[in-house]
Structure 1
């Protein structure tokens, strides 16, 4: 359900949006299904303008048939793989994050979700010289930590600062701010022109559960509708603009098997194409926390997503160790188990 907003298509101004809202026309479906003669009379808007706007909206949001061969060629030409900066995690993900897909990192507090997001932001902005949008709903983003990661990868200060400038951070502390930020990202991508500075290739959201969990209480139906609206926004953003979307989520335990699973319920479980469950535990031989990642869902690797693996997360035999930060100027080292 796409909400009408200024700039969604040519001719749809803020003044027109306010007039339409006053007549309970708030979404694209509301608009295209309305009698435009009545709308023109009630809103005092030109009938020709309304017809032109509806024609554009129908072209943008209607479904058109296509065949499998064309879809496959489009997939080959638009898909890119973004390395995460962690060889072990890349191995688990079959080379890295795929554009056009939504990937989920799920884990308990302290499992390393934010650190993985920062590592991906550092690698994409520095190694690939592409832009990153980081939507922070928990206050967990720290520029100093990101800077440490960049210092560990390159010594040239100018390159470090250029990489920092490619990471745009947006603080979003409720679902409506998050949806608004995603709409702005889509608008920017619609007008984006490739330059030497690179394109936006990754949208990182830490976390979705922080803004969705408060809505899934007493008002279950309304919260579920908003959650699925967010899901559509994420999948559309990834697909239409060939962007890799990464979200973080909390975990809970299955009542029957006690296996770890991502939060937000069954409806959300179908949203990500790939799901990785992170776990952290104290390393007995040195200070700090060691992290492991289990592949719980993947469209490319057989055997993920069903059963119960060694880590109790539901993955079958897909378990790797992740890089862990040390005390040597933010550098990372692989930890073996």
Structure 2
């Protein structure tokens, strides 16, 4: 999670005084700031001798975060970027590549959903090596370290070993433990993680693949992807993997694909 100090170079008002004020309320990183009640923070700022400067710092923080998270300006720019810069990577399975019209698309977040023992991990691990993380906070640290390394490669114009595929297996095991209770902090962290993955995918032309498990959907006995409706809108592509354990045949179906037109009946 990026410390607030990293933003001081972009605006001097994020100085030691402002950071000390934030730290006194448990805010040490950008994620801490986003998860805090900003109305409450502004109310605390009102009680300080330098209230105007602290409130200006809060406003500047929001502006800096908005600029960093701003998407492409319009649909035509998105289409142009897709046609010019984004390519596909083979998944290693001809049937899956055909279904996805070429494979995993760079610049997009693809989710592979399936129950336990359906073959999600085997498909993922057969072609890459993994770095182990144990919780969502370590995941943020790892991804932000990766982002720094990728930016350094861009500045040094290093393309020989460009990262093309990033896999998170299994993202649900990192997110599920923080979703308990009625608070919104867990959901906010989940969304922040999703958008960080999408940002890495878009800015560095990486195909991002995450795996997710399934949960029961009531008395019908059907299953659905875990992590709920909030996560549902994050992936560009959602694939459902199922296995017939009688003959080990696997089936992949598309739940969502931003590049394909679906006919509604």
TM-score, normalised relative to structure 1: 0.60
What is the SS of the residue equivalent to 1:61? helix
Distance 2:234 2:24 in 1: 33
Distance 1:62 1:290 in 2: 42
User: Which residue among 80, 84, 89 is the counterpart of 1:77?
Assistant: 84
What is the SS of the residue equivalent to 1:191? helix
Q: Which region of structure 1 is more displaced relative to structure 2, 249-258 or 80-89?
A: 249-258
Q: 1:84 to 1:221 in 2, by over 3 A?
A: same
User: Which residue among 131, 149, 152 is the counterpart of 1:191?
Assistant: 152
Do the aligned residues in 1 keep the contact of 2:237 with 2:257 (CA within 8 Å)? yes
- 2:260 aligned partner: 301
Do the aligned residues in 1 keep the contact of 2:168 with 2:210 (CA within 8 Å)? yes
Aligned positions of 1:110-259 closer than 5 A: 110-121=117-128, 167=129, 169-193=130-154, 194-195=157-158, 197-255=160-218, 257-259=220-222
Distance 1:65 1:248 in 2: 27
Flag the structure with higher strand content: 1
Cα deviation digits, residues 164-196 of structure 1 (max 9, x gap):
xxx4x3211111111111111111111114546
How far has the Cα of 1:120 moved from its partner?
Answer: 4.8
What is the SS of the residue equivalent to 2:78? helix
If asked which structure has higher relative contact order (CA below 8 Å, sep 6+), I would say 2
Distance 2:223 2:189 in 1: 25
User: Which residue among 247, 250, 253 is the counterpart of 1:291?
Assistant: 250
Distance 1:266 1:66 in 2: 26
Distance 2:261 2:161 in 1: 34
Flag the structure with higher helix content: 2
How far has the Cα of 1:220 moved from its partner?
Answer: 4.2
Q: Which region of structure 1 is more displaced relative to structure 2, 275-284 or 97-106?
A: 275-284
Cα deviation digits, residues 73-113 of structure 1 (max 9, x gap):
22222211111111011111111111111100111111111
The Cα RMSD (Å) is 3.8
What is the SS of the residue equivalent to 2:249? strand
Distance 1:64 1:92 in 2: 28
The answer for unaligned runs of 5 or more in structure 1 is 43-49, 122-166, 308-337
Distance 1:228 1:61 in 2: 16
Distance 2:83 2:171 in 1: 29
Do the aligned residues in 2 keep the contact of 1:9 with 1:57 (CA within 8 Å)? no
- 2:227 aligned partner: 264
How far has the Cα of 1:247 moved from its partner?
Answer: 0.5
Distance 2:151 2:245 in 1: 45
How far has the Cα of 1:222 moved from its partner?
Answer: 2.1
Distance 1:69 1:303 in 2: 21
Q: 1:120 to 1:8 in 2, by over 3 A?
A: farther
- 1:4 aligned partner: 3
- 1:145 aligned partner: none
Do the aligned residues in 1 keep the contact of 2:88 with 2:103 (CA within 8 Å)? yes
Structure showing greater radius of gyration is 1
How far has the Cα of 1:11 moved from its partner?
Answer: 7.4
- 1:22 aligned partner: 23
The answer for unaligned runs of 5 or more in structure 2 is none
